[in-house]
């Protein structure tokens, strides 16, 4: 079955790396935004039976509409098997109703994606109360990859002997696997989120004075989690604090706040295009797509 990768212009560098790793042709989804906010999409007029669409869901709301339109349009143009490759999958954090009446976005975005795609592939999704991506996209194939080993190797090369730090308990899974693979020590901090821009991070009783600490997390959004953790590490006498995340959303003043908190380097994977990208997830994604195409 012949296959094609489709991508949008704002994710083209990753799309090219992914197509090259797969050996698949790559074509663009063209997009026009009308003055009233509606979107017109244009796909290649003839599609093969197997199509993968690359679309990260950073700043997700308009993109969800585009995904819905692109998937429906692709089927009319010949696609039979559709995979969504969404390196950053939004709406995964609201996985329970934290207060009565809250809509559980993860469940509903997941079921929307399951209606449109046979397979959804993502990286380090925020799955804490749900065990797997298969549960997020019921009845479909869900694949969760991790960039933590890539970031771990990058950190070990940049900061030999680094002390890896998880800024909260949820990040322990990524930090522990990177630390094990690189033979590095790690510790896990405790986080309390008080609001969108307010978090409190406390470090465990461990000696960080004089250590080169590297914070590793799945996502930096406002950056406040990392900022507070960096401040705590600095206050305990860490010699340096660097930051590595799979998904660098860095909204608003996140980067400036990290700098102001004494963070030296900021690294991210190319799951979200950003100046801090230092490792590519293309080979990971290519292996998962090749498996889907074979199976
Ligand atoms: C949540 O637990 C995640 O792992 C991140 O720590 C969090 O989403 C980061 O958000 P922010 O950068 O806004 O603090």
Domains in the chain, CATH or no CATH each: 3-146+280-294 (3.40.50.2020), 148-270 (3.40.50.2020)
Residues 232-259 as b/e (b if ≥16 CB within 10 A, e otherwise) read bbbeeebebbbbbbbbbbbeeebbebbe
pLDDT in tens, 240-276: 999 999 999 999 999 999 999 999 999 999 999 999 9
Instruction: Give the pLDDT confidence score for residue 129 in this predicted structure.
Output: 87
Q: What is the mean pLDDT of the chain?
A: 97
pLDDT mean over 234-245: 98
Q: Is the CB of 222 under 6 A from ligand 1?
A: yes
CA 276 to chain centre: 14
Give Cα separations from 273 to 3, 14, 88, 229 (angstroms).
25, 8, 11, 24
pLDDT at 1 over 80: no
CA of 197 to the centre of ligand 1 (A): 10
Residue nearest to atom 6 of ligand 1 (CA): 225
First to last CA, the chain: 11
pLDDT in tens, 85-133: 999 999 999 999 999 999 999 999 999 999 999 999 999 998 888 889 9
- The answer to whether 29 and 43 are in contact (CB under 8 A) is yes
Strands 119-123 and 141-145: parallel
Q: Is the CB of 171 under 6 A from ligand 1?
A: yes
Q: Is the CB of 218 under 6 A from ligand 1?
A: yes
Q: Is 191 a catalytic residue?
A: yes
Catalytic pick among 50, 191, 224, 247: 191
Beta bridge partner(s), residue 174: none
> What is the DSSP secondary structure assignment for residue 1, as one 8-state letter?
-
Taking the CA of residue 223 as reference, the ligand 1 atom at the shortest distance is 12
Q: Is the CB of 86 under 6 A from ligand 1?
A: no
Q: Is the CB of 223 under 6 A from ligand 1?
A: yes
Taking the CA of residue 93 as reference, the ligand 1 atom at the shortest distance is 1
CA of 231 to the centre of ligand 1 (A): 16
Give Cα separations from 9 to 16, 28, 40, 273, 274 (angstroms).
11, 7, 14, 12, 15
> What is the DSSP secondary structure assignment for residue 280, as one 8-state letter?
-
- The span from the CA of 79 to the CA of 51, in Å, is 6
% pLDDT > 90, the chain: 97
233 falls in which pLDDT band (50, 70, 90)? very high
CA 94 to chain centre: 15
CA of 221 to the centre of ligand 1 (A): 6
Instruction: Give the pLDDT confidence score for residue 273 in this predicted structure.
Output: 97
CA of 38 to the centre of ligand 1 (A): 31
Q: Is the CB of 247 under 6 A from ligand 1?
A: no
Q: Is the CB of 257 under 6 A from ligand 1?
A: no
pLDDT at 177 over 80: yes
Taking the CA of residue 196 as reference, the ligand 1 atom at the shortest distance is 13
What's the predicted TM-score (pTM) here? 0.96
- The span from the CA of 161 to the CA of 72, in Å, is 50
């Amino acid at each position: 079955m012949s296959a094609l990768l489709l991508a949008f212009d704002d994710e083209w560098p990753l799309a090219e790396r992914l197509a090259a790793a797969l050996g698949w042709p790559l074509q663009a989804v063209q997009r026009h935004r009308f003055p009233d906010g509606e979107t017109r999409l244009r796909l290649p007029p003839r599609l093969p039976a197997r199509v993968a669409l690359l679309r990260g869901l950073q700043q997700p709301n308009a993109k969800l509409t585009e995904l819905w339109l692109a998937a429906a349009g692709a089927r009319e143009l010949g696609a039979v098997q559709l995979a969504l490759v969404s390196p950053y999958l939004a709406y995964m954090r609201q996985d329970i109703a934290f207060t009565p009446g809250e809509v559980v976005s993860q469940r509903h975005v997941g079921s929307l994606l399951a209606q449109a795609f046979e397979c959804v592939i993502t990286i380090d999704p925020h799955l804490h109360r749900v065990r797997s991506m298969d549960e997020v996209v019921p009845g479909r194939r869900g694949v969760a990859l991790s960039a933590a080993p890539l970031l771990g190797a990058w950190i070990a090369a940049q900061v030999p002997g680094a002390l890896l730090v998880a800024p909260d308990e949820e990040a322990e899974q990524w930090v522990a696997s990177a630390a094990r693979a690189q033979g590095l020590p790690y510790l896990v901090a405790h986080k309390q989120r008080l609001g969108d821009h307010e978090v409190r991070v406390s470090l465990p009783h461990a000696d960080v004075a004089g250590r080169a600490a590297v914070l590793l997390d799945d996502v930096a959004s406002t950056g406040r989690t990392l900022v507070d953790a960096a401040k705590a590490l600095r206050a305990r006498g860490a010699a340096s604090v660097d930051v590595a995340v799979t998904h660098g959303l860095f909204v608003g003043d996140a980067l400036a706040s990290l700098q102001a908190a004494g963070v030296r380097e900021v690294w991210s994977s190319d799951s979200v295009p950003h100046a801090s990208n230092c490792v590519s997830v293309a080979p990971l994604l290519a292996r998962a797509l090749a498996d889907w195409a074979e199976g």
